[in-house]
Amino acid sequence: MNIENQTKSILIDGVWRDIEERTETIYNPATLEPITKVAYGGRQEADEAIQAAAKAIPSWSEMTGRERSGILYKASELMNEDAERLGEILTLEQGKPLSEAIGEVKGAAAFLLWYAEEASRGYGEWIPPSNKSKRLLVIPKPIGVVGAITPWNFPSSMITRKIAPALAAGCTVVLKPAPETPLSAIEIMKILQRAGLPDGVVNLVTGDAEEIGKAMLENKDVRLITFTGSTAVGKYLMQESAKHVKKLSLELGGHAPSIVFEDADIEKAATLVLGSKFRNNGQTCICTNRLYVHESIAEAFTTKLTEKVNELKIGSGLEEDTQLGPLINKKAAEKVHAHLEDAVNKGAEVVCGGAPWDGDLKGYFYEPTILSNVTNDMMIMSEETFGPIIPIQTFNDEDDVIRAANDSDYGLAAYIFTENTNRAIRTSEKLDYGIVGVNDVFPATPEAPFGGIKQSGIGKEGGHHGMSEFLEEKFVSIGID
């Protein structure tokens, strides 16, 4: 792959820029080799980008939904056509296996497609009046300029999941991608430009997170901030948004429990748990963070899962057959190891794995790990690990395990594995989570609402629910003779 050693990474009002004296180097997390340098933008660039987005609002929002739809359709097509190359760029900057990266790019294109379809369906309401001489209308209006802040774990789909519904609704956007993974963001901007998106409708600013964030928070023109990332930054944005009463949509951390009941299909459940935990090397906010297995099947299930974990191939995501890539950076690797050491010091048993991977690549790789004898006082049982460790606890009572699963400040995703429909319905209703997967660990899809409760966030992404985040309801009351 031929990437220049400096990439223009700031897009304002349709014009690409770099900043020669302020750059940031992007590294391949598998090898720790530099890939390219991008601009390290700050307050000035963010303010200009917001201004461009505000200027673009009238013409973009006044277009018909059908007209906006055409551009999103085209962008989705272009993205699918280029999925292999985009996947390679994604793997290069993020590390995940190429097959997962290409899958993510196609998933990102699917968000553009879904919201291309939704763009012409921003229905309002006609309310039957209680007074004969009135007519009551509810008109959905685009909220205005949107500030979008995205994370590194899904550098492509997290962007289209936010900007596709925003654009469909008639909003304009300033995007700040994660510092680790700006290259996928740059590619998405180029696709939107090629699809015919007018200048200024989407703007991209890479650089100083705090400064760009401040511009979004302090500028009154930004009416909504949509953010995916840590709960700590989400709380900060929420607090600061109070000054101008900005709307927020937050996808924050998770600590997903997976429950394997005694009536589960053991082979199927083990394969699903494997997928849930080790996709993207455990760096997914909805991935299993704690596993509860009924004691009557615990031995058989753990044996099966261990066999599968031992077969996982670690390596560079660009090598064929790799299933586990590197962790994103040193900080991530240190956190994973701290969770392991804390658990072992408090009595956990290492069933397999349990150490940084001793391979021939320089990146931060970690052995896929299973822990048993796990107790609730271990960090791993309440804090997000974001890495390839599964702690297993056993249970023998349905009510007890639901109580344990719900005992968390987070409320993003939970999973249950059972072949008993009554149990599936009963327990999915009792779990305090925004998303419940029943024999399904990949619930994210463009047509359905994805989002957490409690400290996992506010608002939904996906489905018609995702577009309504970007619309405000205007009530028009008409007196008639």
Residues at the interface with ligand ADP (CB under 6 A)? 149-151, 176, 178-179, 209-210, 213, 229-230, 233, 236
H or E stretch covering 141: strand 134-142
Q: How far apart are CA 387 and CA 369, in angstroms?
A: 9
At its nearest, how many Å lie between ligand ADP and the CB of residue 407? 24
Backbone angles phi, psi at 142, to 5 degrees: -60, 140
Q: Which amino acid is at 409?
A: D
- According to DSSP, residue 197 is labeled P
- Which one of 180, 187, 251, 262 is the catalytic residue? 251
At its nearest, how many Å lie between ligand ADP and the CB of residue 296? 38
Nearer to ligand ADP, 178 or 361 (CB): 178
Token pair belonging to 130: 């209680």
At its nearest, how many Å lie between ligand ADP and the CB of residue 355? 23
Nearer to ligand ADP, 236 or 442 (CB): 236
At its nearest, how many Å lie between ligand ADP and the CB of residue 409? 16
Task: Summarize the chain as % helix, strand, coil (round to 5).
Answer: 40, 25, 35
Token pair belonging to 120: 């012409």
Going edge to edge, which strands form the sheet with 125-127?
Answer: 125-127, 134-142, 471-479
H or E stretch covering 478: strand 471-479
- According to DSSP, residue 82 is labeled T
Nearer to ligand ADP, 210 or 440 (CB): 210
Q: How far apart are CA 475 and CA 147, in angstroms?
A: 25
At its nearest, how many Å lie between ligand ADP and the CB of residue 220? 17
At its nearest, how many Å lie between ligand ADP and the CB of residue 367? 22
Q: How far apart are CA 24 and CA 250, in angstroms?
A: 27
Residue nearest to ligand ADP (CB): 213
Q: Which of 64, 50, 76, 252 is nearest to 142 (CA)?
A: 64
Alpha-carbon distances, residue 196 vs 25, 166, 202 (angstroms): 30, 16, 12
For tokens 């970690």, name the residue. 366
Q: Which of 22, 30, 33, 93 is nearest to 316 (CA)?
A: 30
Q: Is 251 among the residues known to form the active site?
A: yes
Contact 237, 225 (CB under 8 A): yes
- Which one of 24, 100, 180, 285 is the catalytic residue? 285
Nearer to ligand ADP, 11 or 233 (CB): 233
Nearer to ligand ADP, 104 or 118 (CB): 104
Nearer to ligand ADP, 335 or 464 (CB): 335
| Beta strands 202-204; 134-142: pairing state | unpaired
Residue 469 three-state SS: coil
At its nearest, how many Å lie between ligand ADP and the CB of residue 327? 11
For tokens 């390290």, name the residue. 40
Q: Is 285 among the residues known to form the active site?
A: yes
Nearer to ligand ADP, 73 or 236 (CB): 236
Residues assigned a catalytic role: 251, 285
